[in-house]
Structure 1
Amino acid sequence: MGDVWASLELNGWSIAGIVATLLATWLLASLARKGVRAALARVPNLTVGVQRLAERIVVYGIWLIGIGISLSFLGASMQPVLAIALVVGVVLVLVLRGIADNFAASVVLQTRHPVAVGDEIESGGFVGTVTELNGRSVVIRTVDGRTVHVPNSELLGERFVNNSAHGARRSEIEVRIEHPGEPGTGAENASAPDPVRALVVEAVEEAKGVHRHESVQLRPITLGAGRAVYRVRYWHHPQHGVAVTDAVVDSVASALAARGVRAVVTSDLPPAPLTPPMEL
């Protein structure tokens, strides 16, 4: 730095050049800020934080160029200055690499709209509702009241699920019924399987929150001596899964009990049993 200061030539012309350069830099930075702001205003759903970050990057770059030109009017040797600028630039790149990645990812998120505020998403083992999209992260609120900040680059780089993309979500419960008509079960009036299945489907349709425009599906899983196991699938609002499933379990259990059918109704689905490859 001593060589740089020793090479400076301070006179009227150099001062005039510096003043003119700094004024031009200030004017150009102001125009650039307005231009970037106007351009980003045309991008839909771009947050204020992202806009301000883009403005600052452009303005700071213009000021760095203006300061470099101002130093040249002093007759300073530019090699040390360029070396310092190169070191600072490398440090900034390393420090701001994550910020730049997240900023670029935020632009993609807010222009392609894979997620939006109010959507329920699953990412990194968390499930929650999107409350904010900013230049750094997607903020979600989980069902148990936690706030999670998922970096934008991480969200785009990994797989994530948008449960709200289609406006509805499917859930299912399992109904385990003691074999209809078996002596001593109290289910002699439901000796045929079809009335019991119809009863289950009707109970699901009557549960609060179940969509009517998508049909309820009942799949037999096990039909054997002593019991029948069914999986019942139904559609509901994507963010009301827990409440609707509780209502479905209560409705089906009550309907079966009222008919004297002994059954177990659960939303805690068991894992699929392991099957040897030769038996697949």
Structure 2
Amino acid sequence: MGSGKRSPQKYSSTLERGMRVLRAFQFGDHGLSNQELSERTGIPKSTISRLTFTLLELGFLAHASRNDKFRPGPGLLALGQVANDAMPFVQQNRECFQKIADDTNSLVLMLAREDNALMIISAVRPTGRVGRTFDVGHRLPLVGSSSGHAFMATMEDAEFETLLPDLVEEYKTPEDQIRSLRAKAAEDIFNHGFHFAPTEGYFNTIIKAVATTLYSRDLAQQVAISCVVGRNARSDAELSEFVGPKMLRELDGEHQSLNFLDLSASHQSV
């Protein structure tokens, strides 16, 4: 997460590569080798070896033996606990998100931008439902998801234009198509308050979702809020006529207590 604005004079490429190594770990991993980390990050293996050695010495990575694969270490666990304590609003939102999840029988996500993707920072399932798919820490694409399109729609134009070349390269999608996706999402949010991305070109073939965006005063940046359902769990009409409006009604009633600002005004600039 961050502003998305990089100053060459202040930006540390070495630190960035170290963070890319830590972010390469995903739920379900049973350790990653230097080769696997190189493949996931695109960083040469020789550089990965130096980074993993340093992260191991600092306690951010761990492994049981010389030939064992690397795993997140106790330093990361401690840092995660500190971050969780510093962001109490995530738990404060839970009651509102739980009501939305139960009333719409959907997975409710809150996501913040991380480079060219969105990271899930809160995931609330209907009461009694369990699962690890789309959990905290998972990333959703900016191009090819309802959350991503809604997020792009409410970005400042200058920020979007700066990001656009990276999106073209990352998602192998023509610039005009990305602009079109953004414009459609902006139109939907302006007219209805939320966006429902078409199934064609969606990043995942077994789900569909509606999404909106709000400005989080706690994070000092915008976040996406999304309701996700199985592809056959609800019709497109139900998503557009029930799930989306229900999500908005609950969020509208909780703006102040959740410390959110509506981003509706920015939808008109696209």
Q: Same-fold call, TM > 0.5?
A: no
Q: What TM-score results when the alignment is normalised by the length of structure 1?
A: 0.22
Q: What TM-score results when the alignment is normalised by the length of structure 2?
A: 0.23
Larger Rg: 1
